[in-house]
Structure formats: C-alpha cells, structure tokens
Chains A and B, each alone.
Chain A
Amino acid sequence: MNFDVYFMLSALQESLKYTWVTLLLAIVPFFFGILFGTVIAIIRFYRVKVLGELLQLFVVIIKGTPGMVMLLIVYFALIQGFDTISQTFHLAVKSKDINLIYIAFAALTLTATAAISETMRGALTAVATGQYEASYSVGLTKRQTLRRIILPQALPVAIPVLCSNLIGLIKGSSLVFMISVTDLMNAALIPANTNYKYLEAYIAAALVYWVLNVVVENIFFWLEQHLSTYKREVLV
C-alpha cells in the first residue's frame, strides 16, 4: 500500500476551505437546539398538561430517527412541499433554487433540539427542591426562580453533555453529502473521485474533525470551570 502524503495534504487543504460550512452546520442547529430544547425541557419538567405530553412524543420520535433518515425526510418533504406550493401560487421559484444548506439546518436543528431538550431536562432535575422552596419563600415568582436560581445552577450541570451534543452535531453534519452540500468531508472527497485515493481523503477529513473536537472540548472545559466557580473544588 502506498500512502500519498502529498495528496492527503492537498485534500486537507480542500477540507480546511470548507471547515466553516461544517462549523456553521453544527453551531446554528446547536444554538437553536439550546433555545428550543431548553423551552421543551422546562415545559416537560413542569409537567404542563397536554403540551408536555405532546412534546414528549415529539422528542421520542425525533430521538428515534437516525440522522440520515431525518435529513432525507426533511429534504423530500421540503422539496415536494415547496414545489406544490409554488405551483399553486404560480411562483417562479422552484425547489431547486433553495440553498440546500437550509434543509440541512432544518434537519440538524430537529435532531439537536430533541437531544438538547433531554440534556436540559436532566440538568434541571439535578437542582435540589430546596432551591425552589427558598426562592418562593423570599417571594420570587416561578419565572424569576427559574431564571435567577434554577437555570444558572442547571447550566453547569448541562455543560459536559452539551459539549457531547455539539461534538455529535459536528460529526453528524458530515451526512449532508447525502443532499450534496459541500462540507469539510465532502470537500476532501471531491478530488479523490478522480484518483480513488479515498484513504488519504478520509484521513485528511478525520484530522480536521479531531482538531475541531479538541478545540470544542477545551472551550467547554473552560466554560464549565467558569460557570461553576460557586462550587467547592473537589480535591482529586
């Protein structure tokens, strides 16, 4: 076996050009996932009638759908739905004019929301009931209690899992080649399509993923330290 280091380096170069796409594909769904996921977690945590149960169903369904299947369902649903609508209204835009990255955003956001809602729900249960009682006893409303006391304590608990969620999204975003979006992996593979040096291309892509993950891990480690200054340090 001869490993073409030079080709790998050039694939790496291609990968790096598209790393921002991968980052975007992870960070945008992560951001919206935190937003929607936290809301879902709170609603389910407080056992809001009907809505809580509906959301539970939503989470179970999304969680049980493989990332690739989700991506393709959203892809076909949006494409077909869009064309039906644009036909009925005689619009000039067709589904093929949609930037496919939006479809990737939508699918990945669904996946991220379900996963992060579970992360946040777990973190909420980690806050002792005494914290609620003390808040109510000094006259805070439910909402003030959540915002001032509970969420700030739940967040540091959630951070390590959120980190895994984000890394999962970075890795999961590689599936967008299915709908022909060029991300860092796809960018590395394109030159290999002519010379079949796939091993070099995949290793190039893997190197970039590793670096990204190390960076993400470090950021979250710092965040965790920073957000839990109020805790007693554990001596190891």
Chain B
Amino acid sequence: MIKITDIHKAFGKNEVLKGIDVEVAKGEVIVIIGPSGSGKTTLLRCINFLEKADSGKMTLGSTQVAFKHATSKEILAIRRQTAMVFQSYNLFNNKTALENVMEGLVTARKVPLRQAAEIGKNMLDKVGLADKHNAYPSRLSGGQQQRVGIARALALNPEVILFDEPTSALDPTLVSEVLAVMKKIAQEGITMIVVTHEMSFAYDIANRILFMDGGVIVEQGTPKDLFVNAKEERTKQFLKRIVPEWSYNI
C-alpha cells in the first residue's frame, strides 16, 4: 500500500537518508528504532513532504510521486492520505480540542460541519477525552494534548498515520495513557509507522521493526527476530545499549 524506493536526503553535505526502501502493507504497524541522528524523523517528514527528499519514489494508495519533482497538487494529495502525530503535539493553539480534530475535515476535505463535528467527537471519545471537547490546548496536559493529536490524525481516516516519538516529550507518568491509545488503534487495523524509543511498547505492537542507523535500514524483522535474534552487530550493540535487560529476559 505504501512503497518507498531508494529515498535519498541530504542537508547540505550531511547525507541523512542514503537510499532507503520501505514497503508497508495495509493494516501493518511498523516501528522504526535507531540511534539519535540516524534519520528516523527525516524519513517520516519526507513521506508527507514536510521535508523534500532529493531523490526516490513513493507509491501511496493510487498516488505515485517522484520526491524531487512532486507538484504541489501531488504533495497535497499525499498529505491528504497521510496524517502525522508530532513529538511536540503541535495542536492548533487557537482552536479547541474539537476544532483541532475538525480542522482538516472541514477546511481541507470540505466535510459538512455537522458531520465533521460528529466524527470529531467520536474520535475524542475514543482517545478518552469525552469531557475535553471545548478545551483549548493551553488548558490540557501533555498527555491529553497528544491524545488530541492522535484523534486529529485518526479523524482524517488516512491511509497511514506517522508517529514521530509521540511520547518522548511527555512526563513519564503520562506516557502510558498515550501508548494505551496507540495500542488500541493499532489493534483496529490502522496502518501506522511509529518512531519510538519505547522498546517494550515496540515489542508489543509492532508487526515489523526497522532498525535504522547512519541513514540506512540495517536490519528489519518481527519484534522477536530483532530483539532476540538480531543478526547484525550494529543492531545488537544498539539494543544492548538501550535495553540491556532484553538480552536475557526474552
């Protein structure tokens, strides 16, 4: 359903993505792990054109684009089939929780107000914010804001939702409420690409884990494959550093 071929991206002389291929099937939950600076965020941002990749191609649903030559129409088409959940939430500050969720529906997709409101309310209820429809982001906790962010992405019913470290800006006590929501939607068959450092969560929800380092995918496989039987030395090193206990406990 999503197929990315040979994506390259450099910032000046700093080559961040060095030819990555990713294929994601409908309903699949992909988790990307890897050390800081390995290009995980850049990959996600290139997928919805918040960053313009230098070369490579992508097929998403029925849309095919060459990253470098994508027209603004194609970019819009891609963006309207994807949604993103940001590390720093990025809720629209001037809009209430419900308006945040409705904005893409009403303004971008021209869904009638009443219908959009209904979808919006359902989504907020789903992420456990039934009592916060009319709260502005400034009145919400980080965990609540991020759940609005997830509801906003869900409401668009996109082909894929991209998550960039959705819990790493959160107070540790609030992480679990967001992870619980993500787990719930993963089980509903939403296609997700998740960048996270929450390893046990990754183990729990991923259909497939990609390990990125130095702008390439070093290794990929099921959580078991990767966490227990990693083949590449770089993967083993990384896992040992990030979760020493994994080496013995599984």
Contact = CB atoms under 8 A, between A and B. Distances in A.
A230 B93 contact: yes
Interface stretch (A6-14, A42-50, A78-86, A147-155): A147-155
Nearest to A151: B94
A230 B48 CA distance: 29
Given A130-B90, A139-B109, A149-B103, 16 more contacts: A130-B86, A131-B90, A134-B91, A136-B49, A137-B50, A137-B83, A138-B79, A138-B108, A140-B107, A144-B108, A148-B103, A149-B92, A230-B93, A230-B94, A230-B138, A232-B138
A95 interface: no
B152 interface: yes
Contacts of A138: 79, 83, 103-104, 108, 152, 156
B84 interface: yes
B95 interface: yes
Contacts, number: 73
Contacts of A131: 90, 92-93
Nearest to A148: B107
Contacts of A230: 93-96, 136-138
Nearest to B87: A130
A135 B92 contact: yes
Contacts of A90: none
A133 interface: yes
Given A131-B92, A230-B138, A232-B139, A137 B107 contact: no
Contact of A140 (B90, B103, B136, B138): B103
Contacts of B93: 131, 153, 230-231
A139 B92 contact: no
A138 B156 CA distance: 8
A141 interface: yes
Contacts of A130: 86, 88, 90
Contacts of A148: 103, 107
Interface of B: 48-50, 76, 79-80, 82-84, 86, 88, 90-96, 103-104, 107-109, 136-139, 152, 156
Interface in A145-172: 148-149, 152-153
Given A137-B48, A139-B104, A140-B108, A231 B138 contact: yes
A137 B95 contact: no
A137 B94 contact: no
B79 A136 contact: yes
A236 to B, nearest CB: 17
Nearest to A149: B92
The winner among A134, A135, A141, A229 for most chain B CB atoms within 10 A is: A134
Contact of A139 (B50, B76, B136, B137): B76
B50 A133 contact: yes
Interface string A76-112: 0000000000000000000000000000000000000
Given A130-B90, A134-B91, A149-B94, A139 B138 contact: no
B100 to A, nearest CB: 9
B58 to A, nearest CB: 16
A235 to B, nearest CB: 13
B68 to A, nearest CB: 18
B107 A133 contact: no
A137 B95 CA distance: 16
B79 A137 contact: yes
Contacts of B82: 137
Contacts of B49: 136
10 contacts: A134-B92, A136-B50, A137-B86, A138-B156, A139-B80, A139-B109, A153-B93, A229-B136, A230-B138, A231-B93
Contacts of A153: 93-94
B148 to A, nearest CB: 11
Nearest to B104: A138
Nearest to A127: B93
A142 to B, nearest CB: 9
A134 B139 CA distance: 19
A136 B72 CA distance: 12
The winner among A130, A139, A140, A229 for most chain B CB atoms within 10 A is: A139
A56 B84 CA distance: 36
B46 to A, nearest CB: 13
A229 to B, nearest CB: 8
Contacts of A128: 90
Nearest to B137: A230
B107 A144 contact: yes
B158 to A, nearest CB: 9
